[in-house]
């Protein structure tokens, strides 16, 4: 079957992100031996696109780092606006030792030989006793490690208006039927109420069902791996996906899902939250609980959102962590690993510096050893570079954070089913086909969920239109299936 001429555009119901794929013709960098004797470097240069320290106390931070380690630290700022272009230039120029990168570009940079192979350094590191191996496994490429997890990356949870739930006399839903009853109670509050809102029906940011997880449940419209058969398959054509589309279709028809879902952006969803119209939505675990509360209280001082556990059949999934990589052109990568990566994740002095900043500048300690964040000018440093609530070590944060932020993360991690890999392949075959495939999926969802097309007809049309794209993708992935972390159901 010939490929159709699908226009690359932001179509209704889908938000498109770039994805990169693995060129497995390359066998990656040759493994390197780690030096037994590690000399202290004079200077380390780093580029991190996280945190609040930049505009508040960066010089104080670097001075404290030098005081603690004897190593001068230069932190480069993003001069491009687009951080992807900036991180790429830092690695290609080779004059920056440590760079924070997004998982989407990890295989591309490793394939180009831009990243130092830190596998042996990790194998000999004292951090092996502090860090859950799953965060290391999530970054494994062909059994080698080219990057280090900076911090956890929690996914989305469902937030409900607790005050509306209490007024309706309902409990937190544990099943899909109970969840629908909650949405129906929210809808009954008035014509302007949006029981459940989301920005689109499908996201290429993975997992692409994460903003509608209570409707997708055990379905995943992405490309998955069958451990029993040892092969990749298209999650969109499964019986679970058929049932998910039915759930979405019926809930949309009943008015329980935002009828503007195809036109929504995240910003429009939040505008509806601020207007006091939204009863439920999926959003990031952690700080967003506090932000949603702040939004709704602008119009309703008694409004309150709470994070709820997954219902029966639903999964909450972590994302692949943000990644710290060391340039393959670094003059002494072993020393950089020791004095930057190990030090900043030591669970003590170094992690306190990278998490909370500098004592008596960004935070202060009382006689009990409890810490409070201090104002720096007209602002506060929520965290320096690493969010202490997302630590991958045993770091004990002395600062008391917002209870809602803690509660939301507790709900997420107590119910997390693992890490969903967002490390993409780096091949022309994948890149040439995946974008067209995602657009077809979005169009089928729009026709079936929000239109008059039956799910049966939608699945038939999807199989016909997707065949030339999915066949090339699956043939490629199954040929090189032992290279990257895999997503399974």
Please give the DSSP secondary-structure letter assigned to residue 349: H
For 371-414, the pLDDT digits (tens) are 999 999 889 999 999 999 999 999 999 998 878 899 999 999 99
Quote the mean pLDDT of the chain.
89
Residue 421 has pLDDT above 70, yes or no: yes
Q: What is the pLDDT of residue 15?
A: 36
Which residue, among 27, 32, 51, 125, has the nearest Cα to 353 in the 3D structure?
51
In terms of Cβ atoms closer than 10 Å to its own Cβ (0-12, 13-18, 19+), residue 411 is buried
What gap in Å lies between CA 62 and CA 47, rounded to an integer? 13
CB under 8 Å, gap of 24 or more: what pairs does 228-237 form?
230/481, 231/474, 231/478, 231/481, 232/473, 232/474, 232/477, 232/478, 232/481, 232/486, 233/474, 234/466, 234/470, 234/474, 235/489, 236/441, 236/462, 236/466, 237/459, 237/462, 237/463
Does CATH number 3.90.930.12 belong to domain 43-153+320-400? no
Domain boundaries, the chain: 43-153+320-400
Residue 200 has pLDDT above 90, yes or no: yes
**What are the beta bridge partners of residue 73?**
44
Q: How confident is the model at residue 2 (pLDDT cuts 50, 70, 90)?
A: low
Q: 110 Cβ partners below 8 Å, 6+ apart?
A: 28, 29, 141, 146, 147
| Residue 88, H or E segment | helix 83-93
Give the CA count within 13 Å in the CB-facing half-sphere of 428.
1
How much is the pTM? 0.88
Residue 29 has pLDDT above 50, yes or no: no
Q: What is the pLDDT of residue 37?
A: 74
Query: Which carries the bigger pLDDT value, residue 278 or residue 228?
Result: 278
What gap in Å lies between CA 232 and CA 482, rounded to an integer? 11
Tokens coding 27: 């066998």
Query: Which carries the bigger pLDDT value, residue 2 or residue 122?
Result: 122
CB 397 within 8 A of CB 356: yes
Residue 294 has pLDDT above 70, yes or no: yes
Q: How confident is the model at residue 420 (pLDDT cuts 50, 70, 90)?
A: confident
What number of residues does the chain have?
489
- Concatenating the DSSP letter of every residue in 273-292 gives HHTT-EEEEEEESSHHHHHH
Please give the DSSP secondary-structure letter assigned to residue 327: B
CB 159 within 8 A of CB 292: yes
What gap in Å lies between CA 248 and CA 221, rounded to an integer? 13
Tokens coding 276: 């006091």
Mean pLDDT of 465-472: 95
Mean pLDDT of 169-177: 98
| Residue 307, H or E segment | strand 305-308
Q: C-alpha angle with apex 102: 128 to 78, nearest 5 degrees?
A: 115
Mean pLDDT of 36-58: 90
Mean pLDDT of 184-190: 98
Q: How confident is the model at residue 440 (pLDDT cuts 50, 70, 90)?
A: very high
Find tokens 């809930």 and name the residue. Answer: 251
In terms of Cβ atoms closer than 10 Å to its own Cβ (0-12, 13-18, 19+), residue 161 is buried
Rg (CA), the chain: 24
Chain-centroid distance, C-alpha 461 = 32
CB 16 within 8 A of CB 438: yes
Tokens coding 205: 């940011």
Find tokens 């309150």 and name the residue. Answer: 304
What gap in Å lies between CA 301 and CA 299, rounded to an integer? 6
What gap in Å lies between CA 340 and CA 297, rounded to an integer? 42
Residue 481 has pLDDT above 70, yes or no: no
**What are the beta bridge partners of residue 467?**
none
Residue 84 has pLDDT above 80, yes or no: yes
Tokens coding 96: 């920056």
Can the peptide bond before residue 207 be classed as cis, meaning omega within 30 degrees of 0? yes
Which stretches of 127-230 are assigned E, i.e. beta strand?
140-141, 144-145, 148-149, 156-161, 194-196, 202-203, 223-226
Q: What is the pLDDT of residue 483?
A: 65
Residue 293 has pLDDT above 60, yes or no: yes
Query: Which carries the bigger pLDDT value, residue 334 or residue 21?
Result: 334
**What are the beta bridge partners of residue 375?**
380
């Amino acid at each position: 079957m010939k490929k159709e001429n699908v226009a690359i555009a932001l179509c209704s119901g889908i938000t498109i992100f770039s994805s990169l794929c693995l060129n497995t013709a390359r066998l990656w960098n040759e493994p390197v031996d780690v030096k037994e004797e590690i000399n202290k470097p004079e200077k380390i240069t780093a580029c991190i696109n996280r945190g609040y320290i930049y505009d508040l106390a960066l010089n104080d931070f670097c001075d404290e780092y030098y005081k603690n380690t004897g190593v001068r630290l230069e932190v480069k700022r993003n001069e491009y606006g687009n951080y992807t272009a900036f991180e790429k230039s830092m690695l290609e120029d080779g004059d920056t030792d440590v760079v924070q990168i997004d998982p989407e570009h990890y295989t591309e940079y490793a394939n180009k030989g831009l990243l130092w192979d830190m596998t042996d350094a990790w194998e000999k590191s004292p951090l092996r006793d502090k860090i859950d191996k799953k965060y290391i496994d999530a970054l494994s490429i062909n059994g080698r490690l080219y990057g280090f997890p900076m911090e956890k990356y929690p996914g989305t949870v469902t937030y409900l208006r607790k005050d509306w739930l209490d007024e309706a006399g309902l409990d937190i839903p544990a099943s899909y039927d109970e969840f629908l009853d909650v949405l129906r109670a929210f809808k009954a509050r008035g014509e302007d109420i949006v029981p459940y809102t989301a920005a689109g029906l499908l996201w290429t940011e993975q997992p692409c069902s994460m903003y509608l997880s209570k409707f997708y449940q055990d379905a995943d419209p992405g490309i998955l791996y069958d451990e029993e058969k040892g092969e990749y398959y298209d999650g969109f054509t499964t019986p679970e996906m058929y049932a998910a589309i039915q759930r979405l279709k019926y809930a949309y028809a009943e008015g329980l899902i935002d009828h503007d879902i195809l036109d929504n952006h995240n910003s429009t969803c939040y505008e509806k939250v601020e207007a006091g119209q939204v009863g439920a939505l999926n959003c990031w675990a952690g700080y967003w609980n506090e932000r949603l509360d702040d939004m709704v209280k602008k119009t309703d001082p008694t409004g309150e959102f709470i994070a709820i556990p997954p219902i029966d059949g639903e999964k909450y999934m972590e994302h692949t962590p943000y990644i710290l990589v060391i340039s393959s052109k670094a003059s002494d990568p072993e020393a950089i690993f020791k004095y930057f990566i190990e030090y900043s994740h030591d669970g003590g002095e170094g992690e306190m510096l990278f998490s909370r900043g500098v004592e008596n500048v960004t935070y202060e300690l009382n006689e009990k050893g409890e810490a409070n964040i201090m104002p720096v000018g007209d602002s506060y440093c929520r965290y320096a570079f690493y969010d202490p609530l997302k630590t991958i070590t045993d770091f004990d944060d002395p600062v008391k954070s917002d209870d809602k932020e803690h509660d939301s993360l507790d709900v997420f991690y107590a119910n997390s089913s693992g890490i969903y890999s967002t490390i993409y392949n780096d091949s022309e075959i994948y890149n040439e086909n995946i974008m067209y495939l995602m657009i077809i999926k979005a169009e089928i969802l729009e026709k079936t969920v929000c239109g008059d097309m039956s799910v049966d007809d939608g699945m038939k049309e999807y199989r016909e239109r997707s065949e030339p794209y999915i066949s090339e993708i699956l043939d490629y992935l199954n040929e090189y299936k032992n290279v990257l972390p895999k997503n399974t159901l």
